[in-house]
A and B are shown apart, each in its own frame.
Chain A
Amino acid sequence: MLSRSAFRQATRQSWLQQRRGMAAPASGSFQYQVGEAAGIKIASRDTSGPIGTIALVAQAGTRYETMPGLAEGLNKYAFKNTDRRTSLRIQRESELLGGSLISTHTRENLVTGAKFFRDDLPYFVELLAEVASQTSYRPHVMQEEVIPLVMMDHKKFLANTLDMALSSVHSLAFHRGLGNTIKPASSTPYTKYLTAESLEEYAQSAYAKSSFAIVGNGVDHAELSKWTNEFFGDARKSPLQQLTSAQSKYYGGEERISHGSGNSMVIAFSGSSSPTGASYKPEAAVLAALLGGQSAIKWTPGFSLLSKATQEAPNMHVATKSNVYTDAGLVTIAMDGSATDIRSTAGKVVEALKSVAQNISKEDFQKAKALAKFKELEYGQEPRAALELTGAGLVRDNKPYQIDDVAKSIDGVTEEKVKKLVKEALENKASVSAVGDLYLLPFAEEVGLKV
């Protein structure tokens, strides 16, 4: 029979646990624990479930690449032959363990990682250490395996007008750095710049201890530290060439690209940086939810401002996104569909944007705030959530991306802040890109934007 004081203490403890945080899972919270092992910054959070994910996030995306195509090439060269074992063996062993390997790159980061059963953490940490420091860059692997994939990416990019338009607005907005194309837009990257030697040099800069961070989801922090200490001890300390990029500055402009199949038009303006960066504006996320365009419910366009504005073109895809990078951001409104649809609705989209600067109805604003917060927390529940953002934040600013804090800051957004963001966007130059049938697609000035 429990004594009365012990019983009281137990109930008090369970009461405190229930009050711990919003939607915190049973065995942990969304918060990342930060640490250091073998000179490398690590962060992890122990979520419940049998699967863990780790990623090596290197600050070596297209923004930092020394020559075009290197970031993508290095990404595609991950998990290929190392000094100790061949790529076939790596693949087979990972398959036998039931893990899957991740290798992606974004504008700022190279993410190389794996998803696996929690018990296999040491194996995959060792694998990542081999990839980082012991990959052997051979010309025949480039010719046989890497360059054909880069060529396919190139073709895929050229066939997709929406990707082309988004890439174009980024380069209009940021010129170099964040404006570098994420997929090759021509064949010069792989014919002129991408060779085994240039990749090897880039790897020595990208996989140096000061350029990357290791982030884990669903792994124990102490275990991660221990294995990182053991396997990453002899990774390169300082990069061959310090990969830097100047502070992003927003420029703006207009670009029109003729294309035979597909039509897209993207309007973009300066948004918010990542929460770990300097110019963080949670109102950008709320604005993206307010304008919207896509609905979570099937068979209805939804009731966001842009859905209402583009009602007469139901087959056109319109979506607003707040793209967040470490020190800058871009809010993009993307329209993709037939050229006549875009022509007739682009003006209405801009009017909807201008109306936000004047007046936002209370109901719309509440909906937008709720949706932004929901999206943030839903993102936080994904196993890969915030891996990349935390890694990037750690490397650049030494701060991880804490989802709880971000969701809280969305609560503090007011209508005035959103109106101010839009007013500034309309006063400065917008970045507008139209890809497709240029005879029909409107110019920025025809729809009322300043470029």
Chain B
Amino acid sequence: MSYPTLAPFIQQRPWLMRWMRPLARWYFDNSGYRKLGLRADDLIPEESESVQLALKRLPPKEAYDRVFRMRRAFQCSLAHQLLPQTEWTKADEDISYLEPIIKEIEAERTEREDLESMIIKKRTSASTKGGH
């Protein structure tokens, strides 16, 4: 999931973060998924190898809660209703539980590709360990 993003650029500059944080907060609240009781990571499209593997690696409790949230949101969508305000996802509950696992899987994949496209030079002395 590598798409062009300014997020790292902004996160490294605290003055930009101060400007962006209220804007981001407003944006998240208004995008509406929290009013259906969902978290941001529930919205990640599942149709990719990495995400499928990440879902398999979820701890059982997280997986169960995810399914519950999705069913509740689907029911709301069928009924054309939003959840009562007490049940909306709060900002501190909207944690990223799937994204770190996906990043791990992606890192493993790139590492494998790097190792496979390595150029190996024959050792001349005992100190070097092979080209990388």
B129 at the interface (CB under 8 A from A): yes
Please state if A140 and B56 are interface contacts (CB–CB under 8 Å): yes
Please state if A88 and B120 are interface contacts (CB–CB under 8 Å): no
Residue of A nearest to B125 (CB): A119
Please state if B112 and A88 are interface contacts (CB–CB under 8 Å): yes
Please state if B57 and A96 are interface contacts (CB–CB under 8 Å): no
Please state if A96 and B111 are interface contacts (CB–CB under 8 Å): no
Task: Tell me the minimal C-beta distance from B67 to chain A in angstroms.
Answer: 19
Which of chain B's residues have a CB closer than 8 A to the CB of A86? 108, 111
Task: Tell me the minimal C-beta distance from A339 to chain B in angstroms.
Answer: 46
Which of chain B's residues have a CB closer than 8 A to the CB of A92? 115
Which of chain A's residues have a CB closer than 8 A to the CB of B111? 86, 88-89
Q: A139-B59, A140-B56, A140-B57 are in contact. Are A93 and B112 (CB under 8 A)?
A: no
Please state if B129 and A123 are interface contacts (CB–CB under 8 Å): yes
Bound CA span A89–B59, Å: 26
Residue from B56, B112, B120, B126 within 8 A of A96 (CB atoms): B120
Q: In the complex, which of the residues A119, A140, A143 has the most CB atoms of chain B within 10 Å of its own CB atom?
A: A140
What residues of chain A have their CB less than 8 Å away from a CB belonging to chain B? 86, 88-89, 92-93, 96-97, 119, 123, 139-140, 143
Residue from B57, B115, B126, B130 within 8 A of A89 (CB atoms): B115
Task: Tell me the minimal C-beta distance from A51 to chain B in angstroms.
Answer: 15
SS of A interface (majority): helix
**Beta-carbon contacts of B118-131 to A below 8 Å, as 1s and 0s?**
00100000100110
Bound CA span A96–B59, Å: 35
Interface residues of B in 46-68 (CB under 8 A from A): 56-57, 59
Which of chain A's residues have a CB closer than 8 A to the CB of B130? 93, 96-97
Residue from B112, B115, B120, B126 within 8 A of A119 (CB atoms): B126
Residue of A nearest to B108 (CB): A86
Residue from A88, A96, A140, A143 within 8 A of B129 (CB atoms): A96
Bound CA span A60–B30, Å: 57
Kindly list the 8 A-B residue pairs having the minimum CB-CB distance in the complex, ordered from nearest.
Answer: A140-B57, A96-B130, A119-B126, A92-B115, A88-B112, A86-B111, A86-B108, A88-B111
Enumerate 23 A-B pairs (CB-CB under 8 Å) in ascending A order: A86-B108, A86-B111, A88-B108, A88-B111, A88-B112, A88-B115, A89-B111, A89-B115, A92-B115, A93-B129, A93-B130, A96-B120, A96-B129, A96-B130, A97-B129, A97-B130, A119-B126, A123-B129, A139-B57, A139-B59, A140-B56, A140-B57, A143-B56
Which of chain B's residues have a CB closer than 8 A to the CB of A93? 129-130
Residue of B nearest to A138 (CB): B57
Q: Given A92-B115, A123-B129, A140-B56, list of 5 further CB < 8 A pairs? A: A86-B111, A88-B112, A96-B130, A97-B130, A139-B57
Bound CA span A226–B48, Å: 49
Task: Tell me the minimal C-beta distance from A232 to chain B in angstroms.
Answer: 21
Interface residues of B in 94-132 (CB under 8 A from A): 108, 111-112, 115, 120, 126, 129-130
Residue of B nearest to A93 (CB): B129
Bound CA span A89–B56, Å: 23
Task: Tell me the minimal C-beta distance from B105 to chain A in angstroms.
Answer: 10
Which of chain A's residues have a CB closer than 8 A to the CB of B56? 140, 143
Which of chain B's residues have a CB closer than 8 A to the CB of A88? 108, 111-112, 115
Bound CA span A93–B120, Å: 11
Which of chain B's residues have a CB closer than 8 A to the CB of A97? 129-130
Bound CA span A86–B57, Å: 17
Residue of B nearest to A118 (CB): B126
Task: Tell me the minimal C-beta distance from A278 to chain B in angstroms.
Answer: 44
Q: In the complex, which of the residues A88, A96, A97, A123 has the most CB atoms of chain B within 10 Å of its own CB atom?
A: A96
Bound CA span A119–B108, Å: 30
Bound CA span A161–B115, Å: 43
Bound CA span A93–B108, Å: 15
Task: Tell me the minimal C-beta distance from A138 to chain B in angstroms.
Answer: 8
Bound CA span A92–B131, Å: 12
Residue of A nearest to B120 (CB): A96
Which of chain A's residues have a CB closer than 8 A to the CB of B57? 139-140
Which of chain B's residues have a CB closer than 8 A to the CB of A143? 56
Bound CA span A123–B130, Å: 13
Which of chain B's residues have a CB closer than 8 A to the CB of A119? 126
Bound CA span A119–B123, Å: 12
Task: Tell me the minimal C-beta distance from B78 to chain A in angstroms.
Answer: 34
Bound CA span A88–B108, Å: 9
Which of chain B's residues have a CB closer than 8 A to the CB of A89? 111, 115
Bound CA span A317–B56, Å: 47
Bound CA span A60–B126, Å: 35
Bound CA span A139–B111, Å: 21
Task: Tell me the minimal C-beta distance from B9 to chain A in angstroms.
Answer: 29
Bound CA span A11–B3, Å: 79
Which of chain A's residues have a CB closer than 8 A to the CB of B112? 88
Bound CA span A119–B120, Å: 19
Residue of B nearest to A123 (CB): B129
Bound CA span A86–B129, Å: 17
Task: Tell me the minimal C-beta distance from B121 to chain A in angstroms.
Answer: 11
Bound CA span A123–B127, Å: 10
Bound CA span A398–B17, Å: 62
